[in-house]
Structure 1
Amino acid sequence: MGQRAADETEQQVRAGVRGGGGDQDAPGETVAPVQDDSRGILHPAAAHTIFHLDRFPSTGAAARFVDRYWLSTWNLPPGVRHEQQVLVHPVVNVVFEAHGAVVSGVDTGRFATVLEGSRRALGVMFRPAAFAPFLDAPLNTLTDKELPLSAVPALAGLEPLLVPLVADLDVPAEQLAATADAAMAERAPQARQPCETTTEWAELAVRDRGLSRVEDLANAVGVGVRTLQRAFTEHIGIGPKWFLRRYRIYEAAERVAHQERVDWSELAADLGYADQAHLTRDFTAAFGLPPAQYAAVSAARRGAGPGGGANSGDGAEPADAAGDGTV
């Protein structure tokens, strides 16, 4: 980050935008599921007939950096394959499967994975910008890329600890989440990190739908647009304009997923778009279909069940797995 950005970030830290730590539960003790959140899973009603998704909150020291732990489990008949497309959250996920672990950076496209057999995947989903202390490089070097977890020394020991537990289908989801949470708490930096200010800015952008433009967000957090852009690029891996657009698109897709009747012109205005055409353009680029067509496909698939989504390569949409970044 440039000197001006560093100076403004430090001013935010001194101003106490976010308190570090605080009293929280001990690591590994809380395993209550995170509330349902299907953002980013294409056609989620159909997808959830194929796989089961558990989500658990981070606790204690880990909660400063980790948003949640997700576990995707599937059991498909022999010879049946199922592809799932996901529009991942703009965060880093560390994903564990029976064969190893990878670090997935922000994916600016649609992630696709094929499910078969009886398996599962465990993900550590970081908060926006919060992977920065664990990677010895700006986060934009990881955008649209994966790294083997072994290439991240700050997280050494996680792979041999968690991969065997993921591979053993008899290990309960709650135990997996608690073990991952305790391990992340041990590896969490104690000191306040520069990226934590960027995390606050990003999470404000997610919460406040009124912040539809980069200039609005910059004004809300009291920094210049260029400072905001540098912080997002270095700590998250993408710019604030792209970040804001991704969450606006999630909002549109969620309304479709929950079978709401959608007035697309009104929704475009609600989400800060100049007109419906701009929303349609962004939605189509993200999901591969115009909004109305996506809504029709989702409605048709809602009652399909496993037989209507699993396939051997016919292009049907489907379930979720190792890249779930939505979770």
Structure 2
Amino acid sequence: MGRAKPNQPKGLIEKHVSLQHFDLTLVTPSAALERVVANYWIIEWDLPKGRAYAQENLPHASQHLVLDPQYQSGVFGLTSGAFTYHLQGKGRVFGVKFHPGQFRRFAAHDMRNLTDHCVPVSSYFDVDDHELLRGFCAAKHCADFAPTIELMLLNCEIKEDAKAKLAQEVVEFIEVNREIFEVAVVAQHFHVSPRALQRLFAEYVGIGPKWVIERYRMIEAIEALNNSSHISLTELSHALGYFDQAHFSKAFKRLTGRRPTEIGLPPT
């Protein structure tokens, strides 16, 4: 495994405020697992008594295994909406982010069955959920628990799966090509029909390709708003494929509950 390192992933709403309330660290997986695991992530916080903080973010198109002593542990499917986590007191969370499409290798069902749901870790792995959580709580340093999770994952027979590989490649293509707005364009690039792409995403990603396109464009919008207090919403709307600012603002509020003008750096 790689060394633990601080990181600032995309999707955190009001990032300049977020990172004043908690520490986020990523640990890279071993070479044996890098094809299925994107990273191990650790969140730690210690807020003064009486202070609480609600962190909003837009999750990526991935499934996560989460150990959370404060709220709920388990395997979380893709989250179709925005996600809010409430922090207070002192706490820690350990997570495993799987590459898009790759958790299907561990499951005997389509990923759409897991979307917006959380199930016990023992549903997929030969572990005792309570013992696993107790082990994490007992670890002096959160990153020290990564080898335990590695061993649990490696104890599974991870077979080659060409469809999982293709699903990951398609999602990553959508993520990095900001000019892509139509499912038909993605399907044509990968020489498959739009219907075949829909079936692939239902089984391996957990949601349709149109949602993935819109989610990554919206994550780009949040990053742009996080990084500038003087951004043109009209230009941003057009760059993200929206007809005009009104359509973009409506879509943004529907997903995050806030207007674009309510997000971002304070004016300087």
TM-score (norm 1): 0.74
Alignment match, 1:177 = 146
Find out whether 1:286 has 2:255 as its counterpart: yes
Aligned counterpart, 2:56: 85
Look up the equivalent residue of 1:233 and give its one-letter code: A
Unaligned runs of 5+ residues in structure 2 are none
Shift of residue 137, structure 1, vs aligned partner: 1.3
Aligned to 1:299: 266
Structure scoring higher RCO (CA < 8 A, sep ≥ 6) equals 1
Q: Distance in 1 between matches of 2:178 and 2:128?
A: 36
What is aligned with 1:166?
136
CA distance in 2: counterparts of 1:192 and 1:70, whole angstroms: 25
1:54 deviates by 0.6
Q: C-alpha root-mean-square deviation of aligned residues, in Å?
A: 2.3
1:269 to 238, 243, 265: 238
Query: Structure 1 residues 196 and 165, CA, compared in 2 at 3 Å: closer, same or farther?
Result: same
* 1:192/1:161 CA distance change after superposition, 3 Å: farther
Aligned mates of 1:208, 1:74 — CA distance in 2: 35
Distance 2:50 2:251 in 1: 36
Report if the CA contact (8 A) 1:71-1:121 is conserved: yes
* Seq. identity, %: 28
Give the SS at the match of 1:187.
coil
Matched, 1:157 2:127: yes
Unmatched tracts of structure 1, length 5 or more: 1-27, 303-327
2:35 aligned with 1:64, yes or no? yes
> CA offset at residue 182 of structure 1?
4.3
Distance 1:65 1:97, change over 3 A: same
TM-superposed CA distance for 1:251, in Å, is: 0.5
**Structure 1 segments of 4+ aligned residues over 4 angstroms from their partners:** 158-162
Is the contact between residue 8 and residue 24 of structure 2 (CA under 8 Å) also seen in structure 1?
no
Structure 1 position 294, deviation (Å): 2.2
Deviation at 1:93, TM superposition (A): 0.8
Match of 2:115 among 143, 146, 150: 143
With over 3 angstroms needed to count, the CA separation of the structure-2 counterparts of 1:34 and 1:72, relative to structure 1, is closer
Distance 1:193 1:164 in 2: 36
When structure 1 is superposed on structure 2, of 94-103 and 141-150 the one drifting more is 94-103
CA distance in 2, matches of 1:187, 1:161: 19
Partner residue in 1 for 2:174: 205
Residue in structure 2 matched with residue 228 of structure 1 by the alignment: 197
C-alpha distance in 2, partners of 1:207/1:51?
A: 28
**CA displacement at 1:57 relative to structure 2:** 2.0
| Aligned 8 A contact 2:175 2:216 in 1 | yes
CA distance, structure 1, for counterparts of residue 65 and residue 143 of structure 2: 18
